[in-house]
Structure 1
């Protein structure tokens, strides 16, 4: 029996079971939807939001909304304050990411402001720009979550609980992959946002991670130099494909106006296998001004086509 292991991205999330069901509903919606249960495919969610946030987001309806100015991947409160760099390396990492993510947000604003007769080819005109408080909260959330994982920060999300962030999340991912492998059939990892960094890190750099049959990254920041530098020495451009753990294909899905993926969305050149391109890059155009939402990606026909190829259904 085929099993799919999901892993979510940045920011606070609804409780684990609710989040898993949101992903399943979004993937199944519409005439071309993929209903995993109906196909006899089991699935699970690697949940790690509680490592960085004190309690689950209770506003499930808002998270699942498709309103174009909704950005429920972020939680604009004290828990998402940007990291304070302790070393020059950390300061360089944070400033580099902030510059590139800010550039992608500015590019999205430029498209939104264009008159319809001058719109970029393939990019629909957007009429509702993202307000500055939302952009600021997103930047702080992204920088904090990515930094704390890649630098393995010791962090306490609530009284009486403390984690080494990377160690804890790696352990959860490795256990989930082992459980999925125990199903005995085909095993596919589907990751979003920061979850793509976690999944890649474990599949490429953690020896005890079990192998999987295929890999999908969605709205991923893995194309950014700053993140790739933190994945060395195991990552190199000519041999970045995690071939020791991913037996089959890797499909990378992106929207050019997604602020997390848009600066460098193409992976075929950055994650080669023996010096040759092997990743399949798939572009989608999500609705609305906020392009990073997983519920939008999972409804895209191009993503579903790539997923069907991995599932072979």
Structure 2
């Protein structure tokens, strides 16, 4: 039986089952939607928000709304402060990411250029006027979540619980991929935001992870040099494709005004297979003022078209 494994991105999230249902509904909505259950396709969600956040986000409606004008998934609180670098390596990592993230947020507000996608030719990009407190909350959350995972920080999200962040999340990924593989059919991983870093890290660098048939990355920061440097030595530009664990396609979906993906959204040059481009980069244009939301990406025709092809629908 064909199986799809989802993995979510940065910031706090609704509870695991609710988040899974949101992704399924967002993918199925409208006439061109994909209803996985109706197609006889099983699915699951790799949930890791509880590793970094004390309790699930209770405002499910706001998270799911495609009309939401603010990045709801990155509300700031005491648990989303940017990390305090403990070493020179960490300081360089955090500073570099902060500089690039600030640049993409500023560019998203100022850009008036035309998209390169021929289907959208003649349509200007939409301006993104986000208030500074929201930008700051987003940057702090992104920096903290990415840093804690890639540096395997020991972290306590609530009293009585402590994790090595990378170790814990890697374990969840490996188990979920094994469960998906046990279904016996095609197995596709659909990842978003920080979830794309986790998926790539595990598929490229964790030897005990099972393989999959195809990978979709959405709104991914994997194009950033700072993140790529933390994926060495397994990652190299000429041989970055996780070919030992991904038998088929890797489709990378991005919106240029997505502040997570916008600095370097194209992966075909950074994750080559034997020196040749293999990743399929797909540009979409989300609506509204916040382009990073998964509920918007899952509604795009290009993403759905790619997923249909991978699922042989």
The TM-score with structure 1 as length reference comes to 0.96
Supply the distance in 1 between the matched residues of 2:127 and 2:271 (Cα, whole angstroms). Answer: 36
Aligned to 1:82: 82
Q: Assess if the C-alpha contact under 8 Å between 2:109 and 2:127 holds in 1.
A: no
Supply the distance in 1 between the matched residues of 2:259 and 2:187 (Cα, whole angstroms). Answer: 29
Q: Assess if the C-alpha contact under 8 Å between 1:69 and 1:128 holds in 2.
A: no
Supply the distance in 2 between the matched residues of 1:127 and 1:83 (Cα, whole angstroms). Answer: 30
Q: Assess if the C-alpha contact under 8 Å between 1:7 and 1:195 holds in 2.
A: yes
Supply the distance in 2 between the matched residues of 1:265 and 1:128 (Cα, whole angstroms). Answer: 18
Aligned to 1:289: 289
Aligned length: 307
Q: CA deviation at 1:81?
A: 0.3
Correspondence 1:307 to 2:301: no
Supply the distance in 1 between the matched residues of 2:94 and 2:36 (Cα, whole angstroms). Answer: 38
Q: CA deviation at 1:124?
A: 3.8
Q: CA deviation at 1:127?
A: 5.5
Aligned to 2:176: 176
Q: Assess if the C-alpha contact under 8 Å between 2:108 and 2:128 holds in 1.
A: no
Matches within 5 A, 1:13-32: 13-32=13-32
Q: Secondary structure at the match of 1:144?
A: helix
Aligned to 2:195: 195
Correspondence 1:120 to 2:114: yes
Correspondence 1:167 to 2:167: yes
State the superposition RMSD in angstroms: 1.1
Aligned to 2:258: 258
- In structure 2, the CA distance between the partners of 1:110 and 1:127, relative to structure 1 (3 Å rule), is closer
Aligned to 2:135: 135
Aligned to 1:273: 273
Aligned to 1:153: 153
- In structure 2, the CA distance between the partners of 1:108 and 1:127, relative to structure 1 (3 Å rule), is closer
The TM-score with structure 2 as length reference comes to 0.96
Supply the distance in 2 between the matched residues of 1:279 and 1:65 (Cα, whole angstroms). Answer: 31
- How far does the alpha carbon of each residue in 1:195-252 deviate from its partner, in whole angstroms, 9 at most, with x for none? 0000000000000000000000000000000000000000000000000000110000
- In structure 2, the CA distance between the partners of 1:261 and 1:294, relative to structure 1 (3 Å rule), is same
5+ residue gaps, structure 2: none
Supply the distance in 2 between the matched residues of 1:270 and 1:128 (Cα, whole angstroms). Answer: 28
Q: Secondary structure at the match of 1:308?
A: helix
Q: CA deviation at 1:73?
A: 2.1
Q: Secondary structure at the match of 1:78?
A: coil
